[in-house]
Amino acid sequence: MALVPSSSVDPPIIPEVEMNGSDLGASTVRATVVQASTVFYDTPATLDKAERLLAEAASYGSQLVVFPEAFIGGYPRGSTFGVTLGNRSVKGKEEFRKYHASAIDVPGPEVDRLASLAGKYKVFLVMGAIERAGYTLYCTVLFFDPQGQFLGKHRKLMPTGLERIIWGFGDGSTIPVYDTPVGKIGSLICWENRMPLLRTALYAKGVEIYCAPTADARETWQASMTHIALEGGCFVLSANQFCRRKDYPSPPDYIFSGLGEEPSPETVVCKGGSVIISPSGTVLAGPNYEGEALISADLDLGEIVRAKFDFDVVGHYSRPDVLSLTVRDHPQDPVLFTSASKTESSEKQLVMNPF
């Protein structure tokens, strides 16, 4: 493993690279997980930072770059949004207004910029973002290809704890796996990775490069990531932010709760732990708990087949005669207008039978 220290002037992110060889074969993919903090409440500055990180990852030959959960829009760590049971404070509502303003529309201009960046640096890009759909926010992962195309999204199916007061719930229509030249790419976010049936849905779609953006920096997270790599016979790429208190707005505009006293500006409030794990459960790079970093490894896709020979969870090691899973993968729209469909049907009939 090679660590390149940052310089004193305009320092690059510390790259942490563990490579399996100097030459990449057709079945080898160089992947990078980004461990870095959002510029909170400043989405344009966060997008600028994302470009710097992408440029640096591309300079190391990365073909796939994965960013943390909620990198665009921010993970509001320590905030309560003024919520107590039966009440929401005026200050908390204003805090949500600012958070809503930092989120992005999908599609929208920020998505267009991310697509252009993926095309500019010729990488597959997996980006954590807070998606704004009207007045509801979703914790979302966005997928882009090296041709600068937006492929689609995954909305977090199950927000955790207090996240449920600020984020909506995804449905089965956004659990994609994309078949790409570098492998079949899919993603689940943070603790939904602990949902066995949801993981099984990805396995059934053939995921080979399993991206797990997260906000969980605890050491127990590493056990979950290793288990998923072994269970799914896939590469697991987990990206988390590394944040200090100073990366968030200062008090009294932003109050950190749950830590006792207000932490000092240099206090680490999320220590990262980003990691890349092979289908055999071998840690290829990371976990890093030291600071912002680019964590990279070469993925030998042949390892997937070797791992599946031992255990194929939805293949030769499944028992559909005993256990099965049904996934409702159509959109769960809260309102359906039947008159619209009737109008469309009538218009078609008029075109077919004008007299």
Catalytic residue numbers, as ranges: 69
Phi, psi of 123 (to 5 degrees): -130, 155
In terms of Cα–Cα distance, which of 218, 247, 179, 346 is closest to 38?
247
Phi, psi of 228 (to 5 degrees): -65, -40
How far apart (Å, rounded) are the C-alpha atoms in residues 136 and 219? 32
CA-CA distances (angstroms) from residue 124 to 142, 191, 238, 269, 340?
Answer: 11, 24, 15, 29, 38
Q: The tokens of 173 are what?
A: 């229509």
Amino acid at position 117, single letter: L
Chain centroid to Cα 151, Å, comes to 14
Q: How many degrees, rounded to 5, is the angle at CA 208 between CA 207 and CA 211?
A: 80
How far apart (Å, rounded) are the C-alpha atoms in residues 239 and 57? 14
How far apart (Å, rounded) are the C-alpha atoms in residues 51 and 226? 30
Amino acid at position 34, single letter: V
Point out which residues pair with 2 in neighbouring strands.
17
CA-CA distances (angstroms) from residue 97 to 41, 81, 256?
Answer: 11, 10, 18
